[in-house]
Amino acid sequence: MTTVSETTAAPTSMESRGAAAKLFDAVGTIACLALRFALAIPFFRSGLTKWDGFLQLSPSTNYLFANEYELNIFGTAYPFPFPDLMAYASGFGEIILPVLLALGLATRFAALGTLFMAGIIFLVYPHTWANEQLPWSAMALALIAYGAGKISLDYLIARRMGRA
């Protein structure tokens, strides 16, 4: 007569490592997707407030960049150079970069641009670093380091090109 222990083989270490690797891969995929959206949403929402219509910046955006926003560098406040250009760059960046992040397209580039924007926002509002710029920068750095994950257009393009 055979016993249960003789007929049921215990999983080998290779099988258990394979299951753990699949689990961590799934968690990593979901984490990258969550990071992309968590970083995209606040920038996109801010970008929506800068526009009055298609390619039409709101007057308040131009006013803020020309008269209110200042770069705080080493304790000294400096006006924005080229405020109209900076207003347009900010408006475009806060719409285009989050869309790229949400789609997972050119993710590392979009995360780098968002990291740069977080740095500029830090210079304008240095007191908000712990609540805004630090988490945004950490998310952007993670996306730069690890990429968009498997639920992204970057992954589909890389797979089609035989790189994934």
Q: How far apart are CA 140 and CA 40, in angstroms?
A: 10
- Residue 118 confidence (pLDDT): 96
pTM recorded for the entire structure: 0.84
- Residue 68's pLDDT is 94
Please list the helix, strand and coil fractions of the chain in percent, rounded to the nearest 5, in that order.
Answer: 70, 10, 20
Q: Give domain limits for the chain.
A: 14-160
| Confidence band, pLDDT 50/70/90 cuts, at residue 21 | confident
91-115 residue pLDDT tens:
999 999 999 999 999 999 999 999 9
Residues 6+ apart with CB under 8 A from 48: 95
Residue 13's pLDDT is 55
pLDDT digit string, tens, across residues 34-82: 999 999 999 999 999 999 988 899 999 999 999 999 999 998 999 999 9
